Structure 1
Amino acid sequence: MIGWLSGTVRDIDPQGLIVLECAGVGYEVHVSLQTLSRFQRGQQAELSIHTHVREDQITLFGFHSAQERSLFRRLNTVSGIGARMAMNLMSGLSTNELLRAIEQGDVAAISRTPGVGKKTAQRLILELQGKLMTEAAPESAGSRERMDVRSALINLGYKAQQVDKVLEKINAGDFETLLRQALKHLA
C-alpha cells in the first residue's frame, strides 16, 4: 500500500482531484476541499495517502496530515459511510469542526454535508462519539513534525494517550530530534 506521496502538483480539478507527479509518474489523488485549498499547480506537495482497493479499481485518497487520514479511516468504519461520503464530510467541515460535531452530538452540523442525512449523522455520532478525542491532540500540539512523530510512535506500538503526554513535555524540534526525545521519555 502507498503510505505517502511527495512531488509536484501537475493538475487540479476543483471537484477534489489532483494529479501529483512523483518520480515521473502522475498519481490521481482524491482530496477533500479543505486539503485542495492548500495547493496550487506547480507547487511541491506531500500527502498522507489512504489506498482504497476494490474489486475493479484502486483509488488514492490524500490528506494534508496523518491526523486527517486517521479520521478518514475512522469515518469509513461507520456502517453506511463509504470513502466518498467520508471525503464529503471532510470537505464540508474542517477536521477539528468534524471532531467537535461528533463529540458534541451536533446532528445539524454533520447533516449539512451534501449526501448526509439526519439518520446517517446520528449513526456516525453513535458509533464514533467518545472514540476520537485523542485524534484532536496533535493539531493543538503544533507542527506537522509532532503529528508525524505521534503517528510513528503509535505505529511502534505505544498507546496514543501515552504518546500525547510525552509530546506535551518535549520542546520543539525537527522530526528526528522529537522522535529521539520522545523515545527517551518512553523508555
Structure 2
Amino acid sequence: MYAYIDGRLVFKCPTYVVLEAGGIGYQINISLNTYSKLPSEERCKLYVWQHVKEDAHTLYGFIEEGEKRLFLHLISVSGIGPGTGRMILSSITPEEIQTAIVKGDLPLIQRIKGIGPKSAQRIILELQDKLKKEGLESLTALPQYNSARDEALSALVMLGFGKNQAEKALDNILKKQAGTITVEDLIKGALKAL
C-alpha cells in the first residue's frame, strides 16, 4: 500500500494527474478539491490510496492527509465506492462534508450528485458517531501526539485493542518505569500485558 507519492507533476486535469516519481509516471484520480489546491510548480506530493479490483489497480490522490482519511471513511459506508467517494469530495469541501455528517444535515448530503435519500441516511448513520469521536479538527489536520503515551495508545488502538484496556496497560507500565521510556518499549510492554 502506498502512503504518498512525491514527484514531478507531468500532467493535470480536473479528474486526474500524472505524477512522475523514480522514473515512473503514476496516473492518479483526484477530486476537484485536490485539483483546486494543486501547486502551480512542478513538484507535488499526493497522499494516495490504491483500489485493487480483478481487472484494474487504481490510485486515488489527495492533497491533504485529512481528505484521504475522510475518503476512507466515506468508502467504508455500504454502497459507497471509490468513484462515489471522489464525487462527494468534488461536490463540497471535506470540511463541509464532515460538518454535514456530524450535524446530520441530510438535505446538504442529498444534493450531491449520485447520493439519494437512503445513501445520505446511511452515510450519516454509519459515520456520525465516528466523526464526532474524532472531532472536526482531526480529519483536516495530521494527528498530533503530545507524549510517548499518546502515540503508543494510538498504535495499540489501531492494532485492535480497546482504548480503555490499552490505557490501563500503558498507565501500569508508566507507574513502574522510573525515567523516560520510548514509544517502542511502551508498545512492547503493553502487548505483553494485554
Per the shorter chain, which TM-score range? Answer: 0.7 to 0.9
Q: Secondary structure at the match of 2:77?
A: coil
Amino acid at match of 2:43: Q
- 1:139 Cα deviation from its structure 2 partner: 6.2
- 1:155 Cα deviation from its structure 2 partner: 6.5
5 Å-filtered alignment, 1:23-102, equals 23-39=22-38, 42-102=41-101
Q: Secondary structure at the match of 1:121?
A: helix
* Structure 2, gaps ≥5 residues long: 146-150, 164-182, 188-194
TM-score normalised by the chain length of structure 2: 0.71
Deviation string 1:89-129 (CA, Å, 9 cap, x unpaired) is 11111111101101111111111111111221111111111
Partner of 1:4: 4
5 Å-filtered alignment, 1:1-187, equals 1-14=1-14, 16-39=15-38, 42-133=41-132, 134=134, 136-138=136-138, 147=142, 149=144, 153=151, 156-157=155-156
State the alpha-carbon separation in 2 of the partners of residues 6 and 130 from structure 1. Answer: 34
* Structure 1, gaps ≥5 residues long: 162-182
Percent identity reads: 34
CA 1:40–1:10: 2 relative to 1, 3 Å: farther
CA 1:148–1:94: 2 relative to 1, 3 Å: same
State the alpha-carbon separation in 1 of the partners of residues 139 and 2 from structure 2. Answer: 23
TM-score normalised by the chain length of structure 1: 0.74
State the alpha-carbon separation in 1 of the partners of residues 4 and 135 from structure 2. Answer: 19
State the alpha-carbon separation in 2 of the partners of residues 148 and 65 from structure 1. Answer: 12
State the alpha-carbon separation in 1 of the partners of residues 136 and 19 from structure 2. Answer: 28
State the alpha-carbon separation in 2 of the partners of residues 116 and 65 from structure 1. Answer: 24
State the alpha-carbon separation in 1 of the partners of residues 123 and 63 from structure 2. Answer: 23
Deviation string 1:9-39 (CA, Å, 9 cap, x unpaired) is 111122x201111122110001110011112
State the alpha-carbon separation in 2 of the partners of residues 65 and 17 from structure 1. Answer: 16
Instruction: Number of aligned residue pairs: give it.
Output: 157
Amino acid at match of 1:127: E
Larger deviation, residues 76-85 vs 65-74: 65-74
Q: Secondary structure at the match of 2:156?
A: coil
- 1:157 Cα deviation from its structure 2 partner: 3.1
Looking at CA atoms only, which structure, 1 or 2, has the larger radius of gyration?
2
State the alpha-carbon separation in 1 of the partners of residues 81 and 56 from structure 2. Answer: 15
